[in-house]
Amino acid sequence: MKRMRWLALVSVIALVLAACGGDGTGDTTTTAGETTTTAGGTTTSVEPDPDFEGRVLDAGGCDYGGRVEKITALDEFTVEFDLCGPHPAFLAQIAFGVFGIQPEEHLEATGGAPLDNPIGTGPYVLQEWVRGDSVVYQRFDDYYGTVAPHQTAVLRWATESAGRLTELAAGTADGITFPGTEDLEDIEANPDLVLLDKPEPNIFYMGFTNTFAPWDDVRVRQAVALGIDRQRIVDTFYPEGSETASHFTPCVVENGCEGESWYEFDVEAAQQLLADAGLADGFETTIYYRDVTRGYLPTPGDVAADIQAQLQENLNITASIEQMESAEFIQQSSAGNLDGIHLLGWTGDYPHVTNFLDFHFADTNLQFGDPHPEIYEALNEASQLADAAEAAPLYETANNAIKELVPMVPIAHSAAFFAAAADVDGAYAPPWGQVMFNFWDNGTDTLVFYQGNEPISLYCADETDGESLRACAQVVEALYSYTQEGEVQPQLAEECVPNDDLSVWTCSLRQGVLFHDGSTFDANDVVASFTAGLDASSPLHTGNSGVFEYYDYLWNGLINAPESDG
């Protein structure tokens, strides 16, 4: 199966050794004074500035509990990350577009909130965000990598998959995300269209918040885990090739499926658990969801209705359904404010098990209510082990605790697809990261791509939504990125090299790279961008919501975070 190639993406050794430019970045090796031609332009090395004053982000130690002790601009083109312990997934993590780099001057000028005017180094300059209609990009002719073959790229959106397919079939779109399951055969049969396999690791789940009754009783959560026919949901609503989840993390991710498989469907056992909890006659609750199609949830309304019916039929639980606006749903579910069941999912951002487990079950994540030390303590220990075999028993412990405590019910690992016009050269759908429009060539001056929803903002250091991340990726780049096949590659860094125990990473940066405002990329931009995300006391730590979820979760907490009221 095509998905088996994911296994090659998650080798820690490959991540540590990755140092050479990959697909589409343009290889550049420079020494002082040289000019090197790259795939899309020129990169000129810069003479060292003797007056350069490097920025430093200093946590003052590691007692705050996070991963980062210090980030230092050693010189104009060298950044050192001093971490609080080994971090084997460092390269894969910094390739995630949330950790994109913007000019320090721009971050300061916008007060740390470039929500609709990002400045990056990527293949496109943002021309205009027409609220409710489109995001319009212009080609960046000074891009050091693969320059776009078209002058303009337009990102539009349509909530319904049928609406996106209508645009594609009419020739008013060149590519779309996630066509409906019911349309896959028609796309394959249409000579004017092509179905793009998107081998993304993902998970769809039902989440509970244990600070609300009766979800504070583990027997109630276990009852729902046993009383929902997950296979029925997959068979009815998911495309061929999808799998009923045995674990939260797809098994193609190394160490993802250590430990026991999930519960089998057993209505009698589920009803007994409810009786033991004093709820033999059931109770009332709410199912919350957003009507946004994702690879992990192709038909959200239909799935919500089926879960509602199963709860009533199997467990005598009466559930109303509440559809929420997408941004509000994400914010409220992330904060643990939804009293009931929330339907959510996850698409892998970087090729390591920490991306699935550490984000969702960390001690800082309130989505499922009070975090469980039985889960997060094992995850914290495992995340510092470079040897995957050595870490495996800890992931077994964590997965078994997830099964016992049931903070959520894993439903499906979905097969996923994009679609494109057949006359587009270079169309692809990556397993990790975002599709980059500069590789698509429709033979005209304008490329149009449709996704499921409008971006929440264009400052993705403080966003988690896939539509926002795709919009940002065209403009803002990170130190590393992913090839079209999903392998980690240098991007704004030429390489990042670790010390022996993977606790200090030294990154040599590309020289002569220009931001879209004409300023030159250097090490201070890297430190400023990470400061904006990581340091809660920084005037740059503003963003959109101010939560900076990915910085918080993936770096094990923010520096100078205010004390919790809880």
**Is 8 part of a structural domain of the chain?**
yes
Q: Last residue of a domain, which of 473, 491, 511? A: 473
Sign for the CA dihedral angle at 292, 296, 302, 308 comes to negative
pLDDT tens per residue across all 566 residues of the chain: 333 333 333 333 344 334 434 444 443 333 333 444 333 344 456 677 778 999 999 999 999 999 999 999 999 999 999 999 999 889 999 999 999 999 999 999 999 999 999 999 999 999 999 999 999 999 999 999 999 999 999 999 999 999 999 999 999 999 999 998 899 999 999 999 999 999 989 999 999 999 999 999 999 999 999 999 999 999 999 998 999 999 999 999 999 999 999 999 999 999 999 999 999 999 999 999 998 888 899 899 999 999 999 999 999 999 999 999 988 999 899 999 999 999 999 998 888 899 899 989 998 889 999 999 999 999 999 988 888 899 999 999 999 999 999 999 999 999 999 999 999 999 999 998 999 999 999 999 999 999 999 999 999 999 988 899 999 999 999 999 999 998 999 999 999 999 999 999 999 999 999 999 999 999 999 999 999 999 999 999 999 999 998 999 889 899 999 876 44
d(CA 526, CA 100): 9
Assess contact for 417 and 180: CB atoms under 8 A: no
Alpha-carbon separation of residue 156 from 140, 414, 461 (angstroms)? 20, 24, 22
My answer on whether 511 and 522 are in the same domain is yes
Domain membership of residue 220 as a residue range: 202-413
Q: Do 68 and 180 share a domain, yes or no? A: no
Which residue in 107, 80, 99, 115 sits closest to 551, CA to CA? 99
Task: Please say whether the beta carbons of 343 and 297 come within 8 A.
Answer: yes
Same-domain check for residues 310 and 449: no
CATH code of the domain in which 156 resides? 3.40.190.10
State the pLDDT at residue 30: 33
Q: Is residue 305 domain-shared with residue 224, that is, in the same domain?
A: yes
What's the structural domain count of the chain? Answer: 3
In order, the DSSP letters of 254-323 are: TTTT-SPPPPPP-HHHHHHHHHHTT-TT--EEEEEEE---BTTBS-HHHHHHHHHHHHHHHH--EEEEEE
Asked if 231 and 299 sit in the same domain, the reply is yes
- The CATH number of residue 361's host domain is 3.10.105.10
Any domain includes 518:
yes
The reported pLDDT for the residue numbered 373 is 97
Q: Which of 289, 294, 288, 306 is nearest to 231 (CA)?
A: 306
Please report how the helices 300-315 and 218-227 are oriented relative to each other, as an axis angle in degrees rounded to 10. Answer: 110
254: in domain: yes
Residues 347 and 439 in one domain: no
| 534 and 403 co-located in one domain | no
Residue 45: its pLDDT value, please? Answer: 60
Residues 136 and 30 in one domain: no
User: Are residues 82 and 45 part of one domain?
Assistant: yes
- Is 547 part of any domain? yes
For residue 561, tell me if it sits in a domain.
Answer: no
pLDDT of 44: 54
| Predicted pLDDT at 294 | 84
The CA-atom distances, in angstroms, between 446 and each of 102, 119, 149, 274 are 26, 21, 9, 58
Pair 272, 144 in one domain: no
Q: Is residue 566 part of a domain?
A: no
Q: Based on the domain organization, do 143 and 172 belong to the same domain?
A: yes
The shares of helix, strand and coil residues in the chain, as percent rounded to the nearest 5, are 30, 20, 50
* Pair (274, 328) in one structural domain: yes
Residue 397 lies in a domain: yes
The structure's pTM equals: 0.79
Of 397, 413, 429, which residue sits at a domain end?
A: 413
**Rounded to whole angstroms, how far apart are CA atoms 412 and 262?**
12
The answer as to whether 562 is a domain residue is no
